[in-house]
Each structure stands twice: as C-alpha cells, then as structure tokens.
Structure 1
Amino acid sequence: MNQHLLMIEDDVRLANMVCAYLGQSGYQMTHAGDAQTGLSQVQSIAPDLVILDLMLPDMDGLEVCRRIRALHGALARTPVLMLTAKGDSMDRIIGLEMGADDYLPKPFEPRELLARIRAVLRRQGDGAVGGDAHLMRFGVLDIDRDARTVSVSGQLCDLTSYQFDLLVALAERAGRVLTRDQIMEAVRGRELEAFDRSIDVHMGRIRAAIEVDAKNPKRILTVRGVGYVFARQQD
C-alpha cells in the first residue's frame, strides 16, 4: 500500500506541482489549501507524513504543528516536514520546538523534498540506528526500539520520530562524547553543515521529556565546545 502524504499549502500552483511529482514517486497525495481543512484531514485520513507550509491564510503553520502534536495516540506522532521562507532561521528553530521533524526552506528542489520525506519516513518506520536488543534501560528510563517509545518511570514521553532517533543514537553510544555532526550523521546518514542549531533545539525538547529538571540535566550532558554525551549513570 502506498504511503499517504498530506500537503497543507495555500499556493495551489506549488501544491499541484509537488503533488504531481510525489505522486509519480509512488506516494498517495492529498492537498489541503488551508489550516482548518488540513487539521481535519489529519484526523480523517491519518497521513504517514504532513508537508506543512509555515504561512497559511487562516492559521500560522506553527500553530497547526502544535495542534497536531496535541492530538491523541498515533496521530500526535505524525511526522511533520515544515516549509519555511528562505533565510528565516528563527522560524525554523521555533518550528522544531513545536515538534516539526524537519524543515525545508523555499524555494526548494522537488528532489530534495523527496529525499527529506524518504529520510523522515525511514526514521519513522524502522529507526535510523540499528541494534539487536529492542529495549534499552537506564534506571527509570526505558527506550523501546520496536515500539519506538520512550518512558520514564512507566510514563510515556512525548517525542517526535526524529527526537526518538537522536535519543537512541546517543544512548547506544552512552559515555561517549559526540559532536553535533556525529549525532546528526548517525541519524540522517549523511554529513550536514558544520553547525546546525536545530540539534540544540531537539536536545532541549528531549531533555524536557526525559529529565527531572531540564535546566539541570543528569542524563544528556552538554560538553561545552564539543557536543553531547549520554550519561550511563546519573549523578
């Protein structure tokens, strides 16, 4: 069965072009021209991924992303790829804080959009990092690779697919200091720019989900000037 993508975009010409291109690439496409219709479609068709424009006529794309993350069950974990205006780095950072899995600045090449969609869906489907044991346990923190869930003291944590993979990448290398490039390469499988603030945004979200005090983390530690390390044992 083809994976079903929902594009929430008010630019009809762009949406038709993207939907035609992705349709030829094997995806089933649905287009919504405004935020309210898009949110209704998320609940009615349960898409495998949402392509979300930041600027919509009836609601900010950031608010749409927030409302998707506030839905119940699996719908709340629907991957979101946000389309942002070229050069608006702050909008991209806020989008990631709202729970977007990835972003792509406009204008973009359809091939790059396709590559990013495949990467997000691959992470969602089977994870970005391997391993034999499906369950990793660190004190009260449980990471279940098969179910793609994280829990603390039995309470499920709210993480996006990308944040789950970032956490797994760190946990599998517990005790080892990783640079931002090494972490993102482990998750995305390709080298990125030398510095990308999105990794810091995601780490903040992960800490907020798994740490007792996100401002004084004990599990995911920052190594100033280098990157991050997942502590095997908490202080």
Structure 2
Amino acid sequence: MSAAARVRQPVDRVPHMVAPMAAMNRRILVVDDDPHIRDLLAFALGKAGMTASQAADGEEALAAIAIDPPDLMVLDINMPRLDGLELCRRLRAGGGPHANLPILFLSSRDDEVDRIVGIEIGADDYVCKPFSPREVVARVGAILKRGAPAPAAEKGSKVVHGRLTLDRDGWEARIGGTPVSTTATEFQLLLILASTPSRVFSRDAIIDRLRGPGFAVTDRTIDSHVRNLRAKFAAAGCAGLIETRAGVGYRIGGCD
C-alpha cells in the first residue's frame, strides 16, 4: 500500500485544523519509517499550532527523547530496527524519566487484538491506517487535554478515596505515600471513577468523558485500561481499587 493510500484525507485539502488550547505550542514527536507520512502529520500538527519533530525508527526516537523529550509521541507500530511496541515497552518499564510520555499508536492493521496489545503495554490511544490527518490531530489534542494542568480554581486540589490520592495539578496517583505510575488516560479514567465514588459508570459513559462522543473506541479498550490500573494498584497493595458491576460497568472500590 502506498503512503498516499494510507492517509484518507490529504492535509492540503483541510483548510483549518483546530486542536484544544491545551495542545497549542506543544511538541510532538512523529515516529514512522515512511517519510511521506511523517511529513504529512508534521504539517497537519503544525497547522493546529503544535511543533512536530520526526524520527524514522524506534532507535532514532529513543535518542531524540533523551536529548529533548516531547510532550507526546505519535508512534508507528511496524518499523525496522526497533518497532513501536518494543519502544513503548522500554519507555513504560521501570518507571524511568519518560515512563509517562503520552503515546498515540499508528498501525497498518485494523485488528482489535493489536489495539488491545497496544493499550495493555501503555499506549494512550490508537489510530489505524488509512487515517485522516484531522483525526490524528484531534486525538493528539484530546490526549494532551487530558494531561493538561487543572484550571486555576482547581489547582492543587486533590481527590482522596481511602488510601488513594489523585493530585489533579501534578497528575500523580498515590497509595498512601507511594506514587503509582499511570498514563494520562489511566489517570483520567481513575479520576472519573474516584470523583463520584457512589456511581457505577458504563463503558460508554467512560468513553464519552475520556475522548468525547463520536470517537471509535471499543469497550475492550476501556477494559484493557482497567486491567492495567488493577495490576498497577495491586502491586502497590490495593487490589480492590476498581470494582466491576456485571452488565453495568465500573465503579471505584475500597482501598483502606
């Protein structure tokens, strides 16, 4: 498949591309072995007020991140030398300095298994080729908006549920005094549940709050984020943090 065929809407036909204010002046690293796709996405992101740099494979991306960490990475899965899945695993492993870098995966395979694997190893979102540059910009903006600092009225405010503390300003989750590493999407999902502890949220309600109505996100994607959170918090001594209500959805559980 040619590069042009993997992009549904040429960016030069998009007269205006708008990203949330939280995405303006943010730095995006586009990692893909196809230079045409890199150029298209860099141009589209630039039109939306972001600054894009490029890397041709995972090893080049690792070097770029070490020198000048971006605010978000758009990462192709299938690349030579070091593919996107392995790069994501390396960044997420061990709680290193870039463990929470937001990642939007690109893939040429529209396979639910691939999407679930990507989410389970720590991706924030997933776009399949062929894609529209407008969709990629919108998803990048949505991820950055979730990770943006809270409004002035909420700065420094925290959500406390038993031993769980969520710091909206610092985007940090803690069990007791122990920090638990989460992606921006995982943190926001946890914040949704913990902010209304008496409510059971359906998967559709969670999807709407995370990404806004109309995004092509499956129930399985939400389930994968929940599994990630359960594993992380179980390792921190809080195995029952998220409860499943059969046939309904999820609610925050106990962690006293």
Which residue number in structure 1 is paired with residue 127 of structure 2? 104
Give SS of 2:198's match: coil
Partner of 2:205: 182
> Is the 1:6–1:30 Cα contact (8 Å) retained in structure 2?
yes
1:5-62 per-position Cα deviation (integer Å, ceiling 9, x unaligned): 1011001111111112212222111111011001111111110100000001112211
SS of the equivalent of 1:211 reads helix
How high is the sequence identity, in percent, across the aligned residues?
A: 37
Amino acid aligned to 1:87: D
Aligned counterpart in structure 1 of residue 142 of structure 2, from 115, 119, 124: 119
Give the 3 Å change call, closer, same or farther, for CA 212–77 of structure 1 in structure 2.
closer
CA shift at 1:86, angstroms? 3.7
CA contact (8 A) 1:127 1:165 kept: no
What CA deviation, in whole Å up to 9, does each residue of 1:45-80 have, x standing for no partner? 110100000001112211111112237555221110
What is the distance in 1 between the residues matched to 2:52 and 2:205? 34
Q: Give the corresponding residue for 2:240.
A: 218
Which residue of structure 2 lines up, in the alignment, with residue 156 of structure 1?
179
By how many angstroms is 1:234 displaced?
5.0
Gap regions ≥5 residues in structure 1: none
Does the 8 A contact of 1:54 with 1:61 survive in 2?
yes
Give, in whole Å, the separation in 2 of the partners of 1:168 and 1:10: 36
Q: Which has the higher contact order (CA 8 A, sep 6+)?
A: 2
Match of 1:27 in 2: 50
Q: Which moved further from structure 2: 65-74 or 75-84?
A: 65-74
Letter in 1 for 2:57: D
Mean Cα deviation higher: 164-173 or 137-146? 137-146
Residue 155 of structure 2 contacts residue 168 of structure 2 at CA under 8 Å; is this kept in 1? no
Distance 2:48 2:217 in 1: 31
In 2, the alpha carbon distance for the partners of 1:28 and 1:71 equals 29
Deviations 1:74-106 (A, max 9, x none): 522111000012422111111111111111011
Aligned amino acid, residue 229 of structure 2: I
Whole-Å separation in 2 of the counterparts to 1:78 and 1:146? 17
Give 1:8's aligned residue: 31
Give the counterpart letter for 1:24 in structure 2: K
Q: Which amino acid aligns with 2:195?
A: E
Cα distance, 1:161 vs. partner?
0.5
Pick one of 62, 65, 68 that aligns with 2:91.
68
Cα 1:99–1:226 shift into 2, 3 Å:
same
Amino acid of the structure 2 residue aligned with 1:7? V
* Matched letter for residue 102 of structure 2: P
The alignment's C-alpha RMSD in Å is 2.5
Cα separation, 2, equivalents of 1:8 and 1:55: 10
SS in 1 for 2:30: strand
Aligned residues: 232
Pair 169,134 (structure 1): closer, same or farther in 2 beyond 3 Å: same
**Paired position in structure 1 for 2:10:** none
User: What is the TM-score when the length of structure 2 is the normalising length?
Assistant: 0.83
> When the two structures are superposed, what TM-score results if normalisation uses the length of structure 1?
0.90
Secondary structure, in 3 states, of the residue corresponding to 2:82? coil
Partner of 2:20: none
Letter in 2 for 1:211: A
Q: 1:126 to 1:187 in 2, by over 3 A?
A: farther
Partners of 2:73 and 2:217 lie apart in 1 by: 28
C-alpha displacement at 1:204, in angstroms?
0.6
Deviates more, 1:62-71 or 1:2-11: 62-71
User: Deviations along 1:167-216, whole A, 9 cap, x unmatched?
Assistant: 000111112111001112122232555842100000011111223699x9
